[in-house]
Chain A
Amino acid sequence: MVSISTRVGNFLLENPTILASGILDETPGSIERALREGAGGAVTKSIGIEERKGYETPVISIIETGLLNAVGLSNPGIDAFVSEFRSFREKGKTIVSIFGKDADEFSKLAKMVEGIGFDKVELNLSCPHVKGVGSEVGQDPDAVEEIIDEIRRKTNLQIWAKLTPNVTDIIPIAKAAEKSDAIVLINTVRAIGVNIASRKFTLSNVIGGYSGPGIRPIALRAVYDVYRETGKDIVGVGGITKWQDAVEFLLLGARAVEIGTGIMYRDLGIFREVASGIENYLEEEGFSNLEDIVGAALR
């Protein structure tokens, strides 16, 4: 019997597929559905202190190699989130993504999330298209370290730090996040699109984040770098549309993977497809545990 269960920090997952933040995870019904359809865990859409309606449409633009998006961190604000998710049944499998401008905001959000019974947060240190938060905070190693320290001091939450690839060198940021329980790599790649027939930008915000198959090699490189340098628990994310893609992340050091844009290609069945593909791969290649292949390419 082959086991595809895995562990990230102290979070035990039945399978290594996780719904990525920002995709189908604003409403309790959608998160429950993703878990029912086979996701081992789910990350919520990023929640901030205040309600944000996000950018005007178009907020997405489909290209040959993936997707550009600038949704603009639309979210109901932490108070509305807390009231809607207080009675949510899947807290154990759900990681709440939070964003803020500084350690104070992050720790306030984290305490409120813990207050209604969640035990894991993912820090959005990486949204590439909103001023003053996301990657603007996440490019500063001192800020990253301070945010993690502050949440650690004030809560007992498991802390996942989702980092941006939009930096010259990701290692200093990953080292600044060493006190987290896991590092999530990567958020979208800063990008732009223009339509040649109208000569207009394809997103209302002009600048967006690039996701999907085209960014997979970039994500793989980030996982490799950070695993080699820190040995930390890593969750890989970026361009996974099939099980083979997920195996690549595992081989380079990821212990689990997040899937978002893949849903555009394969719909919600993707979680079962990827999980069972990994299981078959382990069996055929003669491994008994998923752990056996984590980082195998570096050995």
Chain B
Amino acid sequence: MMKNERILEVRKVGEDVFTIFFDSDFKAKPGQFLMIWVPGGREVPMSLSSVSGTFSITFRVFGETTRSLASLKKGDRIFFRGPYGNSYPEPEGRAAYVAGGTGLASLLSMMDLYEGDTFVGARTKKELFLIREGFRVATDDGSQGRKGSVVDLFTEEMENYNSIYVCGPEQMEKALMDRMINFKGKVYFSLERLMKCGIGICDSCTINGFRVCRDGPVIELRELKKLDEFGVARRSESGKIQFLIPADR
């Protein structure tokens, strides 16, 4: 059912990146998402960037829907249904968070609750947001932190951790997964796919029978390895299968 709440604050947290804060009476766990609706416009899935105390979503403006959301003000209504999906399990031992793109948004909900080291990757300094002290950063152009990919940066230190949480573009997650063939710890990936219903019935986000919206979005490394379409093929809005060109980001 569609709900709505009054917005407490809209905060610009980076170049074109915004966080919307609101209160509500639902309960959510880190890693879960909402379907956010812009009345008269589209409905899109968004991870909760905080689940304890005040709720929030954090997103980059890249189209009409996110532009509308960014233009909302304190006191305006935010429309949503959910929370949906599973969540990140509690860490055991030392935890690491590995983020690419806007994947940091989802991991922030974990970082509020559990300590860990954070590794963030972006193309360039301008795309970074909410970088806190102690974060390890990699940018493709070297404009901040290490020059190169967060996958390379993190892989060097992977063995120091027991529980790893990954959220980023599919090609980045695939690249990291491929480096983890012999890794013994737990690794949880949060996946993102084109999603229409959010409740596990429309088959838009399914990967080899795994519904990202209902069985996921979080999946453990050993289960993820079984999905042979992951990082290889995705579905367009029509449901047509499209093969991706492998990238090493």
Contacts and interface: CB of A to CB of B under 8 A. Distances in A.
A77 B240 contact: yes
A229 interface: no
B173 interface: no
A24 to B, nearest CB: 5
B209 interface: yes
B43 to A, nearest CB: 4
A29 B241 contact: no
Given A27-B206, A198-B77, A62 B238 contact: no
Contacts of B113: none
B199 A60 contact: yes
B interface secondary structure, majority: loop
B240 to A, nearest CB: 4
Interface stretch (B15-23, B34-42, B117-125, B150-158): B34-42
Contacts of A199: 39
B201 A263 contact: yes
A248 to B, nearest CB: 23
Interface string B37-54: 101101110000000000
A75 B44 contact: no
Contacts of B204: 26
Contacts of B77: 197-198
B239 to A, nearest CB: 4
Interface in A23-82: 23-27, 29-30, 32-33, 45, 51-54, 56-64, 71, 74-77, 80
A60 B197 contact: yes
Interface in A155-212: 195, 197-200, 202, 204
A204 B42 CA distance: 7
A53 B238 contact: yes
B200 A52 contact: no
A207 to B, nearest CB: 16
Most chain A CB within 10 A, of B37, B40, B239, is at B239
A85 to B, nearest CB: 11
Interface string A232-256: 0000000000000000000000000
Contacts of A74: 237-239
A105 interface: no
A267 interface: yes
Interface in B73-127: 77, 79, 81
Contacts of B237: 53-54, 74
B79 A197 contact: yes
Contact of B208 (A24, A29, A53, A63): A29
A264 B199 contact: yes
Given A74-B239, A200-B40, A30 B209 contact: yes
A76 B201 contact: no
A195 B200 contact: no
Given A62-B1, A202-B2, A75 B239 contact: yes
Contact of A57 (B43, B200, B235): B43
A267 B43 contact: no
A27 B81 contact: no
A75 B207 CA distance: 17
Contacts of A198: 4, 39-40, 77, 79
B196 interface: yes
5 contacts: A23-B201, A26-B204, A27-B206, A33-B209, A204-B42
Given A27-B203, A74-B237, 9 more contacts: A24-B203, A24-B206, A52-B238, A53-B237, A57-B43, A60-B197, A62-B81, A71-B196, A202-B2
Interface of A: 23-27, 29-30, 32-33, 45, 51-54, 56-64, 71, 74-77, 80, 84, 195, 197-200, 202, 204, 260-261, 263-264, 267
> What are the nearest 4 A-B pairs in CB distance?
A198-B39, A29-B209, A76-B240, A53-B237
